[in-house]
Amino acid sequence: MITSVLVVIEAISAVLGAALTVFMIKPYLYTGEKRYIGLPLGFAFLSISYIFQGIALSPGAPPFIEDMKWLHLFTQAYAFIFLAVTYYFSKQTTRGKGLLWQILFSILIIVILFSYIAVSITPFFTLPSYKSVDEYFRSFNIIFALYLSISTLRSHALKPDSKTIWAPLGYILLAFSQYSFLIWSLDLSMAAFVGAHILRLMGLLIFLYISFETFRISSSVIVKKRA
């Protein structure tokens, strides 16, 4: 019963991630700034990772369930990396930031392709213990999520807004979600596993609220200007 509920939560999380991807791609289309492409990519990777996790948790999962677990792990890590790198470069004012971002973006894409190939064509590649890698990845995800929390909090301090104050909370919830997954990986606590899903869902809902309000207010301003 609880497994079915968790699969449903994964499906809801994937839908929320897809909705956030649509909202996040608007700043990129509006500004044309290539560094902002990391926002929709980050949430798109999050959404895809939830799909992989949902497949892995499904009762009577197919034989390639191990591949889904690894793909979930990699894809989620890439999501946090894209988001963190995007926030970092959005604050940089150096002339070479555009070229540096393009180089880093290309490297990330190459790493992504290689890691997916490595998972798909095993046993040609001998993968390490999934549990050990999972713990390392969760730890790095926590660090990136906390960086995002601090970064958005600083942005809010510089330019206070009633909506942006919720962004740090959203990333903090995602960080605690990763921490709960880490606890589950260490001692198989079902409470931590369930809590991780709930915390993540709360974080995504906060981001959806922020995105919806921002889009609604922006639309209202455009309508008033046209009137």
**Of 10-19, 98-107, 149-158, 200-209, where does mean pLDDT reach its minimum?**
98-107
Kindly give the interhelix angle for 38-57 and 65-90, rounded to the nearest 10 degrees. 160
Rg (C-alpha) for the chain, rounded Å, is: 18
Token pair belonging to 39: 């926002």
- The reply to whether CATH 1.20.1070 applies to domain 2-226 is yes
Q: What is the DSSP string of the chain?
A: -HHHHHHHHHHHHHHHHHHHHHHHHHHHHHH--GGGGHHHHHHHHHHHHHHHHHHHHSTT--TTHHHHHHHHHHHHHHHHHHHHHHHHHHT---TTHHHHHHHHHHHHHHHHHHHHHHHHTTTSS----HHHHHHHHHHHHHHHHHHHHHHHHHHHHHS--TTTTHHHHHHHHHHHHHHHHHHHHHH--HHHHHHHHHHHHHHHHHHHHHHHHHHHHHHHHHHHHH-
The Cβ of residue 111 has, within 10 Å, a number of other Cβ atoms equal to 13
Q: Which pLDDT does position 223 carry in this prediction?
A: 46
Q: Which pLDDT does position 219 carry in this prediction?
A: 58
Instruction: Return the higher-pLDDT residue of 162 and 193.
Output: 193
Q: Which pLDDT does position 63 carry in this prediction?
A: 57
Q: Whose CA is closest to 145, among 175, 166, 165, 177?
A: 175
Residue 76 pLDDT > 90, yes or no? yes
Q: Which pLDDT does position 35 carry in this prediction?
A: 64
**Which pTM does this prediction carry?**
0.84
Boundaries of every domain in the chain: 2-226
Alpha-carbon 5 to chain mean position: 21
